[in-house]
């Protein structure tokens, strides 16, 4: 069985949404998958221990 996901609603600037859609299309992703991928990457960078 897959990972359970929640549905959220966000307000984003129209230009940002269009840019995200464009990037998603180039990577053969849905907008939702693109946003999730970006957020996962952000969290990995922020939550991983920093190397000295």
Place of tokens 């991983």: 48
Confidence check: pLDDT of 52 > 70 = no
Q: Which of 41, 5, 10, 35 is nearest to 20 (CA)?
A: 35
Do 23 and 38 contact (CB within 8 A), yes or no?
no
Q: What is the pLDDT of residue 19?
A: 98
pLDDT (tens digit per residue) in 3-22? 899 999 999 999 999 999 99
Do 35 and 20 contact (CB within 8 A), yes or no?
yes
Confidence check: pLDDT of 51 > 80 = no
Q: Which of 43, 38, 41, 44 is nearest to 19 (CA)?
A: 38
Q: Which residues lie below 8 Å from residue 27, measured CB to CB, with a gap of 6+?
A: 34
Q: What is the pLDDT of residue 49?
A: 83
pLDDT (tens digit per residue) in 29-50? 999 999 999 999 999 999 988 7
Q: What is the pLDDT of residue 3?
A: 85
């Amino acid at each position: 069985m897959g990972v359970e996901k929640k549905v959220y609603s966000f307000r984003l600037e129209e230009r940002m949404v269009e840019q995200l859609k464009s990037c998603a299309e180039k990577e053969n992703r849905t907008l939702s998958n693109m946003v999730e991928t970006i957020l996962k990457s952000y969290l990995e960078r922020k939550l991983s221990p920093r190397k000295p």
